[in-house]
Amino acid sequence: MSAIKDEALRAKEIAENRLQTGDFAVALKFAMKDQRLFPDTQNITQIITIYEVHYASQNKLSTSDMNWYGILLTDKFSKEAMIKRQYRKLAPLLHPDKNKSAGAEAAFKLIVEANRILSDPTKRSLYHMKISRLAGIKAPQDPSYHHNLHTSSTQIPLATWNSTCKIA
């Protein structure tokens, strides 16, 4: 058991070092290894969430356009209810008053900004037009899309969203 715990600790240290250098993909990989080897690692769920948000922020749509849906760890064109649910789920995990881990404050600021853009119907519509133009994907055309939670739209898995929209 001690060898497994030592390996988990080593994975956590590598993850923390990679976070500091901005290598979020590797940081996430090693944090998940830590969790797999030793699920009782303190705050591992919060740490993984920090790394996921930072990793999503690194995968921009173009050189300057953030992937706000990815930052909220949700599918592209998710409905307003899903955006609110994801924000409410992520905010307590990342809030700097509750999470003192490295990167938590920056991750929290990212989800706040993502929520601000995706919760405002006008900003969200402009964002949809921009990402649709960049990726050549049609945005939802239903005029009540932002207000009617029962309107159906096609959900694209996050992996497809990231690969489709990786322009730069």
* Mean pLDDT within 81-88: 94
Specify whether 113 is located in the same domain as 151: yes
pLDDT score at 163: 44
Specify whether 69 is located in the same domain as 1: no
Alpha-helical regions (H) of the chain: 2-21, 24-37, 44-58, 68-71, 80-94, 104-119, 121-135, 158-164
Specify whether 26 is located in the same domain as 72: no
The mean pLDDT value of the chain amounts to: 81
Specify whether 72 is located in the same domain as 140: yes
Q: What is the pLDDT of residues 3-46, one digit of tens each?
A: 888 999 999 999 999 999 999 999 999 999 999 999 988 889 99
Asked if pLDDT for residue 99 goes beyond 50, the answer is yes
* Mean pLDDT within 65-83: 89
pLDDT band at 137 (very low <50, low <70, confident <90, very high): low
Specify whether 99 is located in the same domain as 133: yes
Specify whether 104 is located in the same domain as 78: yes
Specify whether 80 is located in the same domain as 107: yes
Specify whether 154 is located in the same domain as 124: yes
* CA 97 vs CA 93, 104, 125: distances in Å: 10, 10, 32
Please check whether residue 50 lies inside any domain of the structure. no
Instruction: Residue 6: give the domain boundaries.
Output: 1-42
Whether the full predicted model's pTM is greater than 0.85, yes or no, is no
- The two tokens of residue 139 are 């945005």
Q: In total, how many domains does the chain have? A: 2
Please check whether residue 72 lies inside any domain of the structure. yes
Please check whether residue 53 lies inside any domain of the structure. no
